[in-house]
């Protein structure tokens, strides 16, 4: 799989990662967790790394932590989560709980979600990073309009390694408002919702449409691959994190990290085809 370098350290991450919103929020039963177990096994076997979660995602952190432990995958994954609460001590408590659920002593990436009390939590996290409790720190927003707010924060806050923002064929605001800044500052980008805000409806609309003939030029055989390649071909994007609990969908998504990538002309064709 293709990789992108984190500018602040030179570490490389595969361009296709894994989100866990809704998909990993399941119970303890073996039947509920079986497809997720397969997803994580296949994900790691393909050389993918980035697994992103949040305390907002129900039981997702716990399920990720349990399965990663059971499959002995910790050393092969890059695990990220978020803090989303007001107050310094409340933030510390929430982050420590997340680390217990994820079963990590040192987290790869902790992000301040939706910029909630961002300056306060970033101050805490800079201390955690210095102490070795987290490797990277970041900020996120769940709307494309949040790109401008993140850009405003980055104008004054230093030491931010990652930004997570919506970016897809149908949500391209980050291209204009945020990506020039992240590239100039050497900040890595995780692309959230890379298949679009209403993924299910969009894929249903495309289901009966054959992929264009030019898809062969970028080694794509499905619409999800085309849409993901649009995202990860942008030079500012470090990794896209589509969520899935379906092993077949995962394997299809992972193919977007291989083969030829679209140039500017084909990127425009993708936009036209989707719109």
Domain presence at residue 134? yes
In tens digits, the chain (275 residues) has pLDDT values of 999 999 889 999 999 999 999 999 999 999 999 999 999 999 999 999 999 999 999 999 999 999 999 999 999 999 999 999 999 999 999 999 999 999 999 999 999 999 999 999 999 999 999 999 999 999 999 887 788 899 999 988 989 999 999 999 989 999 998 999 999 999 999 999 999 866 667 777 888 889 999 999 999 999 999 999 999 999 999 999 999 999 999 999 999 999 999 999 999 999 999 88
- DSSP string across 50-98: EEE--TTSTTHHHHHHHHHHHHT-GGG-EEEEEE--SSHHHHHHHHHHH
CATH number at residue 55: 3.20.20.100
pLDDT of residue 201: 76
Question: Which structural domain, as residue segments, surrounds residue 110?
Answer: 13-198+230-260
Distance (Å, whole) CA 156 – CA 16:
30
pTM for the full model?
0.95
Q: Which of 209, 170, 173 is nearest to 193 (CA)?
A: 170
Q: Is the dihedral of CA 235, 79, 36, 85 positive or negative?
A: negative
DSSP state of 210: P
Residue 30 makes CB contacts below 8 A (sequence gap 6+) with none
Whether residue 1 lies inside any domain: the answer is no
Q: Is residue 100 part of a domain?
A: yes
Q: Which element (helix H / strand E) includes 101?
A: helix 88-102
Residue 176 lies in a domain: yes
240, 16 contact by CB (below 8 A): yes
Query: With 0-12 CB in 10 A as exposed, 13-18 as middle and 19+ as buried, what is 129?
Result: middle
Q: pLDDT at position 196, please?
A: 82
**Angstrom distances, CA of residue 89 to CA of 92, 101, 260:** 5, 18, 47
Q: How many CA atoms lie within 13 A of 60 on its CB side?
A: 24
For residue 46, is it within any domain? yes
Whether 208 maps to a domain, the answer reads: no
Please report whether residue 237 resides in a domain.
yes
74: Cβ–Cβ under 8 A, 6 or more apart, which residues? Answer: 68, 103, 104
**Count of the separate structural domains present in the chain:** 1
136 membership: H or E segment, kind and range: strand 134-140
In a domain, 55, yes or no: yes
Q: What's the pLDDT at 76?
A: 97
């Amino acid at each position: 799989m293709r990789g992108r370098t984190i500018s602040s350290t030179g570490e490389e991450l595969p361009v296709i990662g894994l989100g866990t919103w809704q998909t990993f929020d399941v119970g303890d039963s073996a039947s509920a967790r079986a497809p997720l177990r397969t997803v994580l096994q296949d994900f790691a076997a393909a050389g993918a790394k980035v697994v992103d979660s949040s305390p907002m995602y129900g039981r997702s952190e716990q399920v990720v932590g349990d399965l990663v432990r059971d499959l002995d995958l910790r050393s092969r994954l890059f695990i990220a989560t978020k803090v989303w609460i007001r107050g310094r001590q409340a933030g510390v408590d929430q982050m420590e709980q997340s680390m217990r659920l994820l079963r990590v002593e040192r987290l790869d990436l902790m992000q301040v979600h939706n910029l909630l009390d961002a300056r306060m939590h970033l101050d805490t996290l800079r201390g955690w990073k210095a102490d070795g409790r987290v490797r990277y720190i970041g900020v996120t927003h769940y709307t494309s309009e949040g790109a401008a707010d993140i850009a405003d924060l980055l104008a004054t806050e230093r030491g931010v390694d990652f930004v997570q923002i919506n970016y897809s064929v149908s949500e391209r605001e980050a291209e204009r408002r945020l990506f020039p800044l992240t590239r100039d500052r050497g900040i890595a980008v995780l692309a959230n919702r890379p298949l679009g805000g209403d993924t299910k409806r969009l894929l249903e609309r495309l289901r009966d449409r054959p992929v264009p003939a030019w898809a062969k030029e970028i080694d794509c055989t499905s619409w999800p691959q085309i849409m993901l390649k649009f995202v990860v071909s942008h030079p500012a994007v470090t990794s896209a994190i589509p969520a899935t609990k379906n092993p077949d969908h995962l394997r299809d998504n992972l193919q977007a990290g291989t083969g030829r990538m679209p140039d500017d002309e084909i990127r425009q064709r993708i936009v036209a085809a989707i719109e």
